[in-house]
Amino acid sequence: MPDLPASHRLRIGRYGEVNRIYLLTTNTIGRVPVFRDFTLGRLVVDQFRYAQNQAWVKSLAWVVMPDHFHWLIELQQGSLNELMQKTKSLSTRAVNLSAGRKGSLWQKGYHDRALRREDDLVRLARYVVANPLRAGLVGKLGDYPLWDAIWV
């Protein structure tokens, strides 16, 4: 196998199955904490909601951290690559317009983990939304503004 950059190796063998549940994660370029500004983080949240309104996904849980996001979804149509390309592109456009910035926002590639139906989804959703607590950003979950889960 040729020596490919990590972002290309992430795509090898990637397959997105409709009606399957995935945990998706992506980082900002250079892990710059763009979303310390919660207003900019809300623009990413808007893209999660847009994807759901377009029936691309069913959002189960998500958190937008200062330099990355975790998004637990059930894929409804299309592919993971299409979903992430659209989400990253639209959120970049919105953040750049709002913040008066130019250029890319997200690192190339993303991490996905396919889940079996038997996996404890509520436990995983709690893990996702508890990221701000583990990172020491807040003392209790309700104090962090950029998260949601369908079980709450």
**24-82 pLDDT, tens per residue?**
999 999 999 999 999 999 999 999 999 999 999 999 999 999 999 999 999 999 999 99
* Interhelix angle 80-99/38-53, nearest 10 degrees: 140
Residue (of 25, 127, 120, 40) closest to 80 by Cα position: 25
Q: What is the CATH number of the domain that holds 141?
A: 3.30.70.1290
On whether the CB atoms of residues 103 and 63 are closer than 8 A, the answer is: no
**Residue-range definition of the domain harbouring residue 92:** 6-149
- For residue 1, tell me if it sits in a domain: no
| Cα distance between residue 133 and residue 127, in whole Å | 10
| Cα distance between residue 31 and residue 27, in whole Å | 6
Count of domains observed in the chain: 1
Q: What is the pTM of this model?
A: 0.88
The 3-state DSSP class for residue 111 equals strand
